[in-house]
Structure 1
């Protein structure tokens, strides 16, 4: 009998155990897989509704959808890309170049590179040249970087000529950008030769606000140059320019950035607004549009600002911003814009699908899907709600709390009108004040100011008197200053200049050089609404043999901000006077424009409404307050009882002008069929395209005026708009009547010579006085001094007669 081998039995037993373990493992894996699959299915089932909910847009008034839109791009043809700026004031717009293109951040389309040329003469202070004199001298050019620019390349091209007497090895020009040197060149050109230098500016040095500093060192001697040598000069030519290459950046539709992108204080171009025409022009729409334009004017200040009407978003130009004001019934474009709220039956709905309250206003930002032009929407279910929405943007304090792409404005705090003589940026109302109460050129309160060198720049002080202030004798200035002791007292002095007229000077002393005072009388006739006070330190080194920068740095003078002023003045104004209108008076008194009203024809034309926008923007530039309360009326609804409470502005063509009284008064008059009259002369022209700006005393009040902005044709109204929009023209207004027309078909906005302006002064005037009896008497004697000796003689005659009678009676023996 045979027995099985032990190894064979062991293998079988091991195999059985292995199979059993594998089966258990497979069973466990199968159970785990089934459980995992069930959990995964359950999770997907739970997550799908949440994902769908997150992807579904909501119209709830509590939520805000933030979107980014590309800013508009220039459409200028490439053939204009390389054109250089001309020597005059003609300015080239941003132009597209052939530099490479890249995908934008969203990977959609191409982002082109643009070129922009900024000539130095864009700054009005440059004029025909920047002249640098003395051994050491410098000048600065300010420029900004628009918020939507992504700079790729920056250069500055400087053209200059200099004195042929300079020693090239010891004379040079150093150029700095934001205190960082970007290059230097020798001044080695021959007489009358124009030098041209191109400097690269690293893009990382460019900030929002920038200063290009040009410093020169002049030497005509190998040993020591006389700083008063007239041969020490260099002139920077006005056609020098900055060259920018950039790509545009997207903007975020969010009111925490307002007023950007509708106004950019860093922009190098004009601010251009386009108002979408509503179906009808109601007084509410006219008032809200005028107030909004005035608010943008306040932001723009000295920067160019234009506005026009358009029929649709397709009419927008490059870099133009669209403003949509009105209810859904008035503005049908609201149904086609990408906005974070719903519309039904021309009603705005809340998150529950119910119409919003009539008194609620809505503000929203979006952009044109084709061009990328920013669009501002101010709407509501009633005109009151629309006006409330615009008023939120107008009131400067409320703007700061805005956030998100859309806002619901439910209520606004009422603001009080400021005092009529509370004008920010002008002289305080107090009789005595110090320099620290005034603002410097940057809008900050004055601090101690130090200047250095033999050619130290003057300390400039805006000394703008209120337009209805008339000064008398007794006004004075008490300077408080300090200076270095390392000066030559025989040739060093401090000089005070008011509007280019020297009103006082005093030599500087080496003994007493700290905390000095100097009192000067202020001439009453020199203090005006646009006056500037300059304090000039003229400093020469004590040792004339010492040369170099060290000698310049040791020369310093400081004007302290406790310098005091004492003014004697009355509140007096002669009206009407368009020269006072240059600073806004009397329409900007008070500064919230609450005493100014505008009247339009019942069916205003596009030219008349654009004139309204131009005038409103100008009033905004000339005023500063927390709110704007300007009102606009149509001719048929002008309140009769309130006519005496306002300064009125009439806008319209002569045939439908709202106030016939403006042209029935004395002076220049317009009639039908292109007829015009002045004094006893009357003519009739074949075509009259001139604009008329005329001021007369108000027929309804002795303390108000009526301003007429009129013309015979719409072309004439465009001339009025130019006079209001363009600084060179507006600052030329004079007399009580200004006639304006163009000399060339396409006049330059920077050259007044392209326009023909004539000034007339024939209307009756009235003196508006706000003073007590004693002040009125003193003012009368100042203006009519000749009545004083006549009055003395008249009073002396009866006294003489009485004394003679008395003497005769005493001499009579009886």
Structure 2
């Protein structure tokens, strides 16, 4: 019997601050550590310390009032007349706070001028100028510090939604944007033939997910329009006619995109995707999927032609095996770092989920860089790959230097499937740092040029499945197109659209060729979405010797978390009680090397609710094993491995042996030990036989 592992990992999510405009006015208050990638106290150390935090302002909201509640503690050794904390908003200082040794605990409220706020991300910067003497001092002395309590310090915004009088298609970038919400909600109105419009709904859902980027989208679906949500209508001209204005209807020719305010609530928009034929509707959807497609500053547009290939937005550049890439290909532009505390250079790139290269291979960097004169000989540039230190560049020439094709080798095993982050962290120190000596830092310069090169080693496409962690990071193997969806009931369509929207987000590109089928084909990867009762008859059983989906549910049920439960809850979560309020996602092998992913719950209502929770990054990033159960929060998740491993891709015998050695080195260690023992035994027998022969 396999043990199930509970997941208790820290909550991580990048929060957008302002909620979508579904009420007349809103007040939003949150600790400022929610604006940080890693929630922690802010320490400002040394004679000058600085920290910036960023918060978004939605283009759909008007900020009526903004306030910062600040709580901090400073050192008891500070010199009162020369120590202060400056707070700036978007580069303008809005307050100066004296820091006193006699009053080290500070608590105050600061009004943020709303006229300094702008649509998009706004910067609040805390800059501490700290001294402990009027005489010469060590600028890095340990008693020079100020700590901001980011849990008790709060940012408060009062906002009201803006009315959409005459929206245009060009404004979609402001209407569907990650700045607008921390949990997006959108309605799909699909009034046409239910047997054919699933594919249209899937394309529309992906277009929304791609525009919201990292913000999870909860999608609802029906044949009509709600009065409390943004909506997209998709259908033939005759099908959408009852739902839109006459002006919009009369504009429909060819493939059509149009936008208008919701007639009974102009705080929301209605986006119309239509045409006179199925082909024209599909053409309009492809134009919506292409984020680079130039939408005009008008309420409507007729599209005559666009190819499916043009929907590849190349948001996530996949680096291929044996590829040579300039840093400019990764979106980087030449940059110079300066000073003691310089912001690191961070480069993001993606490798395929099934990327496999021999462990002895290396990722090669050919760097073009220069650094200033007068640096101390222990100055370095540290190179990190995915937050792990890999190599350092010593900047030890007092005259400064410039290099081309400076080679750095990074182990290929440090790459991870999906997104990778390469960081250049400067640690530059002046040549002269003696006490009472003016410290020159204008010479602390490092320039990395964008014609530097990144070289990927030879590799194959080969990976072991099932792996929900890999699926959560990359969408693999469901992000390559030709995906079929099996629904337990038509009421599961909204849940499917929400899940497909999430897959597009993590892939960075739309997944074309999605179709709804009544029963899984043996030649395609399959998503199975529905309640337990409706899904089981539709799912293929796994190959011989593997648990069926039904047996899997029974086994999972027996391990459901029961700590801190009432007797009633324990009964609900017992094997006789079904899944209770949990959702379940399980990956397993289908026929002919395909992969099936079952997403289910006790009934369709619970399933839709659970998928809406699952697509939040804090839960999605916790997917693991081949089976995960979850409820509302991450600490109510659990996972286990119940399915046998299978491999996807092609490798020769030697390649497979190398792959197994890299994934299970202990097996090969035992094999080598066994071979050594076997050879030792054979040698002993040979020696014994040789001695016996000589004795005769």
- Give the alignment's TM-score, normalised by structure 1: 0.70
Kept in 2, the 8 Å contact 1:152–1:247? The answer is no
> Which structure's relative contact order is higher, taking Cα pairs within 8 Å and 6+ residues apart?
2
Give the C-alpha shift of residue 426 in structure 1. 4.4
SS in 2 for 1:364: strand
Q: CA offset at residue 308 of structure 1?
A: 1.6
Identify if the C-alpha distance between structure 1 residues 663 and 213 changes in structure 2 by more than 3 Å, giving closer, same or farther: same
Describe how 1:354-503 pairs up with structure 2 within 5 A: 360-372=254-266, 373-381=268-276, 383-396=278-291, 399-400=293-294, 402=296, 404-415=298-309, 424-438=316-330, 445-462=331-348, 464-471=350-357, 472-478=359-365, 479-490=367-378, 492-503=379-390
Which one of the candidate residues 448, 451, 461 is aligned to 1:571?
461
Answer yes or no: is the 8 Å Cα contact 1:570–1:775 preserved in 2: no
Q: 1:661 aligns with which of 525, 531, 540?
A: 540
Aligned-pair Cα RMSD in Å: 4.4
Go from structure 1 to structure 2 and tell me whether the alpha carbon gap of 1:156 and 1:425 turns closer, same or farther (over 3 Å shift): farther
| Higher mean displacement: 775-784 or 195-204 | 775-784
Partner secondary structure for residue 490 of structure 2: coil
Q: CA deviation at 1:321?
A: 0.2
1:29-40 equivalences under 5 Å are none
Within the alignment, does 1:278 sit opposite 2:167 as a pair? no
Which residue of structure 2 aligns with residue 42 of structure 1?
none
Could you tell me how far 1:197 is from its partner in structure 2? 4.4
Gaps of 5+ in 2: 1-13, 560-573
Matches within 5 A, 1:19-34: none
Distance in 2, Cα, partners of 1:90 & 1:178: 18
Task: Kindly state the Cα deviation for residue 584 of structure 1 after the two structures are TM-superposed.
Answer: 2.6
Contact residue 307 and residue 610 of structure 1 kept, 8 A: yes
Q: Report matched runs for 1:138-157 at 5 Å.
A: 138-150=50-62, 154-157=66-69
Q: Provide the C-alpha distance between the structure 2 equivalents of 1:715 and 1:123, rounded to a whole number of angstroms.
A: 33
CA-CA distance at 1:114 after TM superposition: 6.6
Residues 159-558 of structure 1 aligned to structure 2 (within 5 Å): 159-188=71-100, 193-201=105-113, 203=115, 206=118, 208-236=120-148, 237-238=150-151, 239-241=153-155, 243=157, 248=162, 250-261=164-175, 263-276=176-189, 278=191, 281-282=194-195, 284-309=196-221, 312-313=224-225, 315-317=226-228, 320-327=229-236, 334-335=241-242, 337-340=244-247, 360-372=254-266, 373-381=268-276, 383-396=278-291, 399-400=293-294, 402=296, 404-415=298-309, 424-438=316-330, 445-462=331-348, 464-471=350-357, 472-478=359-365, 479-490=367-378, 492-505=379-392, 507-511=394-398, 513-516=400-403, 519-529=407-417, 530-545=419-434, 551-558=440-447
1:594-632 CA-to-partner distances (Å, cap 9, x unmatched) read 23222213x422xx222112111111111234x641412
The 1:234/1:199 distance shift into structure 2, 3 A limit, reads farther
Task: Establish whether residue 137 from structure 1 lines up as the match of residue 49 from structure 2.
Answer: yes
Deviations 1:705-752 (A, max 9, x none): 11111122235413541353210000000000001124xxxxxxxx63
Kept in 2: contact 1:666–1:762 (CA 8 A): no
Matched, 1:647 2:525: yes
Give secondary structure in 2 for the equivalent of 1:544.
coil
Q: 1:330 offset after TM fit, Å?
A: 5.0
The correspondence of residues 63-142 of structure 1 with structure 2, limited to 5 A, is 93=19, 117=29, 120-125=32-37, 127-142=39-54
Are the aligned partners of 1:586 and 1:647 in contact in 2 as well (CA < 8 Å)?
no
* SS of structure 2 residue aligned to 1:693: strand
Summarize the Cα distance change of 1:228–1:668 in structure 2 as closer, same or farther, 3 Å threshold. Answer: farther
Contact kept in structure 2, 1:481 and 1:559, CA below 8 Å: yes
Distance of 1:795 and 1:423 partners within structure 2:
55
Distance 2:446 2:668 in 1: 43
CA contact under 8 A between 1:665 and 1:763: conserved in structure 2? Answer: no
Give the C-alpha shift of residue 761 in structure 1. Answer: 0.9
Residue 696 of structure 1 deviates from its aligned partner by 0.5
Task: Identify which of 567, 575, 592 aligns with 1:701.
Answer: 592
Q: Which has the larger radius of gyration?
A: 1
| Range moving further from structure 2, 544-553 or 228-237 | 544-553
What do residues 429-455 of structure 1 show as CA deviations (whole Å, max 9, x unaligned)?
4344443332xxxxxx21333333333
Inter-CA distance 663–259: structure 2 relative to 1 (3 Å threshold):
farther
Could you tell me the TM-score, scaled by structure 2's length?
0.80
Corresponding position of 1:631: 514
Q: CA deviation at 1:259?
A: 4.6
Deviation at 1:647, TM superposition (A): 1.7
Paired residues of 1:307 and 1:614 also in contact (CA < 8 A) = yes
**Kept after mapping to 2: 8 A contact 1:576/1:695:** yes
Please identify, of 401-410 and 373-382, the stretch whose mean Cα deviation from structure 2 is larger: 401-410
How much has 1:528 moved relative to structure 2?
1.1
Contact 1:428 1:437 survives alignment (8 Å) = no
The 3 A distance-change label for structure 1 pair 799 and 668 is: closer
Q: Deviations over 1:737-774 (max 9, x none)?
A: 001124xxxxxxxx633xx1111112111223445666
C-alpha distance in 1 between matches for 2:193 and 2:389: 58
C-alpha distance in 2 between matches for 1:190 and 1:126: 32
Question: What is the alpha-carbon distance in structure 2 between the residues aligned to residue 205 and residue 195 of structure 1?
Answer: 24
Q: Counterparts of 1:732 and 1:559 in 2: how far apart (Å)?
A: 36
The answer to whether the 8 Å contact 1:481/1:515 transfers is yes
Cα deviation, 1:88-143, whole Å, max 9, x if unaligned, reads 9897858999xxxxxxxxxxxxxx88765565344341513333333222222233
Q: Could you tell me whether the CA contact under 8 Å between 1:154 and 1:200 is conserved in 2? A: yes
C-alpha separation in 2, matches of 1:242 and 1:680: 45
